[in-house]
Structure 1
C-alpha cells in the first residue's frame, strides 16, 4: 500500500525543507546555479536521514539534490556545475538510488515511479558546450512546439526504465523557463 506524500514523516522535517536556490549551491565553487527561492525538499538530507534510520553509512547511496511535489507531479532535480564528462556515471547512480529511496519511503513500487516521477538534470552551459551551438536553439524550438526536450549525456536511457521523463536543461534555459512560466509551469511540462 502506498503512503500518501503527507504521511511520510521525513518530508515534514524542517531539516529537509529548503529552497531550490539552496539545493543548487556548489560547495566547491561557492555559487548557486539558480536564485529561485521556491520551496523544495533537500533530497540529500532525506537520503542521510533515511540511511541513518536504516543503520547504513551516508556514503552507501547517492541522491538527487532536490525533490519537488507540485502540479500533481513529483520531480527530482540534480544540479551539476562542472563538466559532465566525468559526472555521467555519478548522475546515473543518483537517479537509481533516489528512485529506490523514494519507492521505500512511499511504500510504493518502481512502476509507480516509472509512471509518475520525472528527473531533471540542470548543467552548466559554459562547461558543457554542444558541438554545434545551433543545437541549443533547435532544442528550445522543439520544446516550444510541445515535444519532449532533447535529453543530453545519455540520460534518456533512464526514461521509462526508472522515470516517466528524464530531461536536461542548461542552467540559462532552466532559469529563463522558471522566470517565464514559474516552477509549476516547468513541472507541468514534464
Structure 2
C-alpha cells in the first residue's frame, strides 16, 4: 500500500503561514544537508497532492524556475514531471500540465489513491487540505521542517480536534537552523 507523506515548513510555534498567508519567516538559503534529506524523502514518491490554493502558486512557480533561482535542475525537473493531483471541489479540470483534479469525499479519495499501485504520495503545505488530512488521520508520515522562528499567530499546521498520538521516528537538525521532525501515527 502506498503511504501518504506530509512535508510542511512550520514555525517553532506551529504555524505554516502568517495570518494573511505570509511566508517571509522561512529560513533560506537551505544548506546541502536539507536538500539531501528532501531528496531521500522524495525518492519513493511518484505523485504530489496539492490543495487548489497552493496549486495556483506552486505549479506556475516550479514551471518557470531555473537553476538561477537556487534550485538544482534535477529538483526542478522532478517537481515539474511528477504527476500532481489538485484536491478541490471548485475546479472541474486542471489548467496545468501533468495535473489532474479530484474532489468529493476526501477519505475515499485518499484511500483509493493509497490502494493503487505505484510509489508513495506526498502532500505539501496548504492549510485547509493539510488540516483536513491530519484531522481525518489520513497521513502516514509527517515531515515537519521547523524553522527557527516564531510568529505568534497565523494558520496552524494542526487542527483542533481529536487527540492523535504520534511516534517520533527521527529528529534531524540542519546547518541552516531548520530541524526536520519525522513522525508516524502511533498504532495501538
TM-score range, shorter chain: 0.3 to 0.5
The normalised TM-score by structure 1 is: 0.33
Higher relative contact order, structure no. (Cα contacts within 8 Å, ≥ 6 residues apart): 2
Task: Return the structure number with greater helix share.
Answer: 1
The normalised TM-score by structure 2 is: 0.33
Task: Return the structure number with greater strand share.
Answer: 2
